[in-house]
Amino acid sequence: MVAHVRYSLIFFISLSFAQEGVQAFSRKAAIQYALTHAPSLQNAYLDYQIARQKIAEVRSAGLPQVNGTTSFRYFVEIPTSLVPGEFFGAPRGTFIPVRFGVPYNLEIGVTGTQLLFDGTYFVGLAAAKAVRELTYRSYQRSRIETIAAVSKAYLAVLIAQERLRLLKENLDQLQTTLRQTKGLYETGFVEKLDYQRLEVAFNNLQTEYNKAAELTALAYLTLKLQMGYPLDQPITLTDTLPELPLLLPDSLSLRDFEPSQRLEYQILLAQRRALELNLRRYQVAYLPSLVFIGNVATQAQRRELNFFDTRQRWFPIAFIGFQLQVPIFDGLRKSSQVSQARLELLKNQNDLFQLRQALTLEAQNARIQLLNALQTLAIQKRNLELAQAVLEATRKKLEAGVASTVESIQAQSAYQQAQVSYTTALLEAYSAYIDWQKALGLLSENE
């Protein structure tokens, strides 16, 4: 039953590798796939495209604006005008009501305007370009975050597979020992208690293997989620665990670190440029604006609803002109807006100072974490080698009959714990290395 469960789980984990047409990914290929398919990154890119279209929208306000208009009026009561009475022989100073016009009026025309001067237009165009730069920096930052997340998830799968491999070796070796001990027990050379102890150890190790198999499957799902890959489609990985660079403490210094290399800092600088243009926009709002206006239309007036009777005339209308708008008093609205914009700039200045401090601290922390992780990894690797040597020596003594099963189980347990500690330290070291590259602003698609 135990063997059946074990091999069923092995089949479940390795099913994706045995299927035909399973897509294989190297770490670089997984990153490239994520940069194209990750939903969060796609949204960041769409924000950048929206900002580009915003520039076209703002620019359109400075281009000629042409609109067609049609106006139809039916006067239920024709308007009345008062005409001086002396025109009709009445006493001077009197007025006679007269109705001018016809009940049906139709006017069809085209109106065009052209902005000649408006200070807010030119500043707004520059601000739209600044927003485009800001969204592009944000998009680049999202790419870096995606690269880091996919790299960590990819390495987590490799390490989970490595742990699964080590557990499988232990399980096979312990199963061999259990089989041999069972034979010795059946022939009366060992006690039943010794065999039962080994069987308990084997069952416990089988449980750990099953858990590791489930965690490996979960690691695959996490990787596919970070990549934006369908969770129900299997993948396989082609890379092996890379060797960590042998970094000495001197090579992990911050001598060449500059916070301005980080995209987070560049985003704040882009925000500052946008805030400066926002202040300028409110300031130039005090200037007048000038617009050219032109209109061409034709009008028909009828007593009856027969506008398209060719025997009756249409009357042309055309004019050109200028519209000058001079701000005089707006209740101090623009003054308040200028003050708010200046305060936003002061906040941005404080944010830049605080971010420089935070990024420097982050880089220093990443350096310390990486140094500690490398030291821990070296220790755990040595412990694993020692535990393996002890286990092999104990097994030989057990085969020679000079060691007890308790000693064998203890050696097996110590070796298993050393494996867990080593793989955990390995994952922490890789994660710390990625964080270190990210903190220095050096993480790229090739990392």
Structural domain contains residue 7: no
Of residues 115, 113, 78, the one with CA closest to residue 99 = 78
| Structural domains of the chain, count | 2
Structural domain contains residue 92: no
pLDDT of residue 253: 67
Structural domain contains residue 83: no
Q: Count other C-beta atoms under 10 Å from residue 424's C-beta.
A: 15
Structure tokens, 236: 């396989």
pLDDT of residue 85: 79
Task: Report the alpha-carbon distance of residue 364 to residue 274 in Å, rounded.
Answer: 31
User: How confident is the model over 110-141, as pLDDT tens digits?
Assistant: 999 999 988 888 898 898 889 899 999 999 99
The answer to whether residues 191 and 252 belong to one domain is yes
The answer to whether residues 420 and 368 belong to one domain is yes
Structural domain contains residue 412: yes
Global confidence as pTM: 0.78
pLDDT of residue 245: 57
CATH number of the domain where residue 113 is located: 2.20.200
**Which residue matches tokens 């007269």?**
98
Structural domain contains residue 259: yes
The answer to whether residues 161 and 304 belong to one domain is no
Low-confidence ranges of the chain (pLDDT < 70): 1-21, 243-253, 445-447
The answer to whether residues 259 and 341 belong to one domain is yes
pLDDT of residue 21: 67
The DSSP line for 16-45 is: HHHSTTPEEE-HHHHHHHHHHH-HHHHHHH
pLDDT of residue 252: 63
Interior angle at CA 429, CA 424 and CA 433, nearest 5: 150
The answer to whether residues 296 and 398 belong to one domain is no
The answer to whether residues 142 and 268 belong to one domain is yes
User: How confident is the model over 223-253, as pLDDT tens digits?
Assistant: 999 999 999 999 999 988 876 655 444 556 6
For the chain, the C-alpha Rg in angstroms (whole number) is: 40
Three-state secondary structure call for residue 99: strand
Three-state secondary structure call for residue 262: coil
Structure tokens, 287: 């200037």
The answer to whether residues 257 and 341 belong to one domain is yes
The answer to whether residues 412 and 396 belong to one domain is yes
Burial class from Cβ neighbours inside 10 Å (0-12, 13-18, 19+) for residue 182 reads: middle
CATH number of the domain where residue 201 is located: 1.20.1600.10
Structure tokens, 389: 């040597």
Task: Report the alpha-carbon distance of residue 163 to residue 157 in Å, rounded.
Answer: 10
The answer to whether residues 353 and 302 belong to one domain is no
pLDDT of residue 190: 72
**Cβ 431 vs Cβ 370: under 8 Å:** no
Structural domain contains residue 84: no
The answer to whether residues 152 and 229 belong to one domain is yes
By DSSP bridging, strand 23-25 and strand 235-237 are parallel
Task: From 297, 326, 355, give the residue that closes a domain.
Answer: 326
The DSSP line for 323-362 is: EEE-----TTHHHHHHHHHHHHHHHHHHHHHHHHHHHHHH
Structural domain boundaries enclosing 104: 64-77+99-117+288-326
The answer to whether residues 163 and 38 belong to one domain is yes
Task: Report the alpha-carbon distance of residue 375 to residue 363 in Å, rounded.
Answer: 18
Three-state secondary structure call for residue 89: coil
Report residue 401: phi and psi, to 5°.
80, 15
**Cβ 311 vs Cβ 132: under 8 Å:** no
Q: Count other C-beta atoms under 10 Å from residue 256's C-beta.
A: 7
Task: From 276, 302, 326, give the residue that closes a domain.
Answer: 326
Could you report how far apart the first and last alpha carbons of the chain are, in Å?
Answer: 45
Structural domain contains residue 407: yes
The answer to whether residues 132 and 197 belong to one domain is yes
Burial class from Cβ neighbours inside 10 Å (0-12, 13-18, 19+) for residue 283 reads: middle
Structural domain contains residue 236: yes
Burial class from Cβ neighbours inside 10 Å (0-12, 13-18, 19+) for residue 173 reads: middle
Task: From 268, 298, 326, give the residue that closes a domain.
Answer: 326
